[in-house]
Structure 1
Amino acid sequence: MPAINKSIVARDTFGHIVRRENWARQEAGVVVVFCIVFVVACGLIGLWISKCLAKRKAQKATVHA
C-alpha cells in the first residue's frame, strides 16, 4: 500500500491553481499604468542611447578631420 496517493495530491494541487483569482483582470488600471510606464521608459532609454551614439560619432568625426 503506497504511503501517498499521487493522484489525490495532483488533484488537490490543480484545485488550488484553478481557484486562484485573476489579479490582472481585477486591477486592469494598474496593468495599463505599468504598460505605459514601460513604454515611456523604453523611449527615454532609446533617446539616451541615440544621444550617446551621436556624441560618439561626432567625436570620431572631429578626431579624424
Structure 2
Amino acid sequence: MSLVARSEYALHQMVKRNKNWAQREPGVILVFVIVFLVVLLVIAMFINKKRQAAKAGIIAT
C-alpha cells in the first residue's frame, strides 16, 4: 500500500469516527429536549405550589 493510499485511508477513518450519533438523529435529540423541558416545568410548578402554600400558612402534604 502506498503512502498516499495509507494517508487517505487514515483520513477516511478519522472522518468516519467524527460523525456522532446526535448529528445522525436530530429528531431524538429534539424529543429529549422537549421531555426535559416538560419535566422541568412540572417540577417548577410543584415547587411554586409548595411555596405558595407555605406563604399562605397552609402546609399541604
Q: Tell me the TM-score normalized by structure 2.
A: 0.63
| Fraction of identical pairs, as percent | 40
Identify the structure with bigger relative contact order (alpha carbons < 8 Å, sequence gap 6+): 2
Larger Rg: 1
TM-score by length of structure 1 reads: 0.60
Instruction: List alignment gaps of at least 5 residues for structure 1.
Output: 1-14, 61-65
Query: How many residue pairs align between the two structures?
Result: 46
> Cα distance, 1:47 vs. partner?
0.3
Q: CA RMSD in A?
A: 2.3
Alignment of 1:14-29 (within 5 A): 19-29=17-27
Unmatched segments (≥5 aa) in structure 2? 1-12
- Alpha-carbon offset, residue 20 of structure 1: 3.8
Name segments (4+ residues, structure 1) moved above 6 Å: none
